[in-house]
Amino acid sequence: MKKKVLAALLAGAMTVTLGACGGNTGSGNDTSKADDNTQGTTDTADVSKDAIRFMNTKIEIDGALKEFAKQYQEETGQEVVIESLGGGVDVNGQLKNYYAAGNMPDIFAFAADSYKSSFKDWLEPLDGESWIDDTDYAFKGEDGKVYGMPFALEGIGLAYNKDILDKAGVDPSALTNINAYKEAFEKIDSMKDELGITSVCAVAAESGQMYWSTGNHMMAAYISQGKDRTDKDIIDKLNKGEIDKDRMGQFGDWLQLLFDYSDQNVLISGTYDDQLALWATGKAAFITQGNWIDPSLPTYEAEFACGLAPAAFMEEDTDGIIVDAPAVWGIYNESDKIDACKEFLKALAESEEGQRALVEDCGMVSPYKSCTLEPSTPLAKSMLPYIKDGKTYAWDWLTQPEGIAQNATGAVFELYAKGQLDKQGFVDTMESVIKDYVASNGSN
């Protein structure tokens, strides 16, 4: 039911499964790392009445949050109990269960889409909090009030292996339009043997396994690339069941380019693991994923330099990547300790310990301008200049109709990748499936 939330959290969930708390874990070959970050880590029954219950949905930051909560209690006397849900858990369902049982946590994480469908009525407005001025990513509700505090930024683009690009003499900063990519791909492709790669790109488009990547993260470029953060034109259209045919056509060209230079086996039948392995072992120069793959890199002993380049699919230059806070923290409006919660969130956002916990211990990119700490993971680090220069586009894909990637658009990517649709067919089919999906969901 909540497939989209799941997809949204997959950014995090993937990392959960492939190695826990990113930045500071050394070799990630130990897959049972989530061990001490257990699923329902706290038995809510023995929580004292004065404690703040904090529901965390990113299991990989469980340890760091708990550590911070402990310190916080030592300093202020306020107890905060962190309850972490494991990767892939139906978070919204769990919250609804809590709500039904009159057992809501005081602070919980939510994503933009679940705000619309579920949590609108449960959230305390946070306007006036000092951290709001320090970030561009505070979550605003329909009424313009701030309801969620961002804690980490994720970036979508085309991740590249810098060592390979250097060797081939390709400057990643020039990759800002489709022609630049075309040239770069051709060049790299002609030097395959020299570079020791088997294909230029690692793309996986089989819809059953990869819909969340194609239908959400790749689609994000169509929706947001080159658009001002407040320009909701394309996503609004999509939610009405319409597409921008011209833009979709350009997007189709871009996909065709990526597909043409991909490992064909991984493209039509590969899983996330296959795709990642191809790139992380240095057999492909580019991969269509975001910074959430950072924590998995040690698994493959990937030590090359890398970064995120824009998914610049148009002929015009677009030199930014797609960055947002996929989930934010909000306060339950019927909690009896709203002020204490606000204090705690403030400490997480503004205090040095709080920032250190999130950025250094969790390996996340801070959404706060005042934060000078840098994550140690390569792709996260490469996001910083874009953020500093304001070259970012919003994650509007999050507000697509629920389940559309899994149930509608994912299949179109797959068919296009398999060559069963040509460019015109791709655009037409996209148009018709989006129209149908929105229509059938509207009536239900």
Partner 1 sequence: MNVQLKKTISIAAMAAGIIGMAAALYMDFSGSASTIRGPLLIAGALLVIAGVYLLPTRKHRSIINVLFLFPLIFAFAVTVLIPFACGIFYSMTDWNGIKFEKFVGLGNYISMFKSNDYIYSFVVTFIFTVINMLAVNLVAFGLALLCTSKVKGRNFYRAAYFIPNLIGGIVLGYVWQFIFNKVMTTVIEGSTSMLTDPNLAIAAILIVSTWQYAGYIMMIYVTGLQSVPKDILEASNVDGANQITTLLKIKVPMIANTFTVCIFLTLVNSFKQFDLNLAITNGAPSRILAGKPVQATEFLALNIYNTAISKNQYALGQTKAVVFFIILAIVSLTQVSISKKKEVEM
Partner 2 sequence: MKAQKIRTGIAEIIGVILTIIILAPFLLVVVNSAKSSADIITSPISLPEHWGQIFTNLSNVIHNQNFNYWNSFFSSLLITAVSLLLLTVFSSMAAWVLVRNKTKWSSFIFMLFVSAMVIPFQVVMLPLLSTFRETSNFFGIQMLQSYKGIIFAYLGFGGSMSVFILHGFVKGIPYELEEAAWIDGCSPEGTFFRIIFPLLKPVQVTVLILNGIWIWNDYLLPSLMLGLNGKIKTLPVAVSSFVGSYVKQWDLILSAALLAMIPIIILFLFAQKQIIQGMVDGAIK
What values do phi and psi take at 237, rounded to 5?
A: -60, -45
Q: How far is the CB of 59 from partner 2 (least distance, A)?
A: 9
Question: Toward partner 1, which CB reaches closer, 119 or 147?
Answer: 119
Q: Can residue 87 be called a binding residue for partner 2 (CB under 8 A)? A: yes
Binds partner 2 (CB under 8 A): choice among 272, 279, 329, 344: 272
The binding track of 5-24 with respect to partner 2, each residue x by CB under 8 A or -, is: --------xx-xxx------
- Count the alpha carbons within 13 Å of 55 in the hemisphere toward its beta carbon: 24
Nearest CB to partner 2, comparing residues 86 and 425: 86
C-alpha dist (Å) from residue 433 to 218, 410, 427: 17, 10, 10
d(CA 7, CA 75): 37
Residue number with CB closer to partner 1 (90 or 260): 90
Which partner, partner 1, partner 2, none, binds residue 38 by CB below 5 to 8 Å per kind?
partner 2
Residues with Cβ < 8 Å from 200, sequence gap 6 or more? 185, 188, 189, 192, 261, 262, 284, 285, 286
Which of 17, 355 has the CB closer to partner 1? 17
- Note whether 377 and 15 are within 8 A (CB): no
- The distance of closest approach from Cβ of residue 436 to partner 1 in the complex, given in angstroms and rounded to an integer, is 7
Beta-ladder partners of 53: 81
Question: Do residues 360 and 24 make contact, with C-beta atoms less than 8 angstroms apart?
Answer: yes
Least distance in angstroms from the C-beta of 34 to partner 2:
5
420 binds partner 2 (CB under 8 A): no
Q: Which residues bind partner 1 (CB under 8 A)?
A: 1, 3, 101-102, 206-209, 265, 268-269, 402-403, 406-407, 411-412, 414-415, 418, 420-421, 428-429, 432-433, 436, 440-441, 444
Under DSSP, is residue 193 helix (H, G, I), strand (E, B) or coil? helix
**229 alpha-carbon distance from chain centroid:** 16
**Positions in 22-81 near partner 2 (CB under 8 A):** 30-32, 34-35, 37-40
Encode burial over 28-38: b for 16+ CB neighbours within 10 A, e otherwise: beeeebbeebe
Q: What angle do CA 321, 377, 165 make, to 5 degrees?
A: 60
| CA–CA separation, 346 and 255 (whole Å) | 42
Residue nearer to partner 1 on the CB measure, 289 or 406:
406
Contact window for partner 2 (CB under 8 A) among 84-92, 214-222, 238-246, 318-326: 84-92
Residue 95 in the binding site for partner 2 (CB under 8 A): no
The binder of partner 2 chosen from 60, 83, 263, 274 (CB under 8 A): 274
Tell whether residue 82 is a contact of partner 2 (CB under 8 A): no
Q: Is 444 in the site for partner 2 (CB under 8 A)?
A: no
| Pick 37 or 209: Cβ nearer partner 1 | 209
Closer CB to partner 2, 35 or 193, in the complex: 35
Query: Whole-angstrom Cα distance, residue 28 to residue 13?
Result: 15
Binding partner selected for residue 429 from partner 1, partner 2, none, CB under the kind-specific 5 to 8 Å limit = partner 1
For strands 327-331 and 146-150, give the pairing: antiparallel
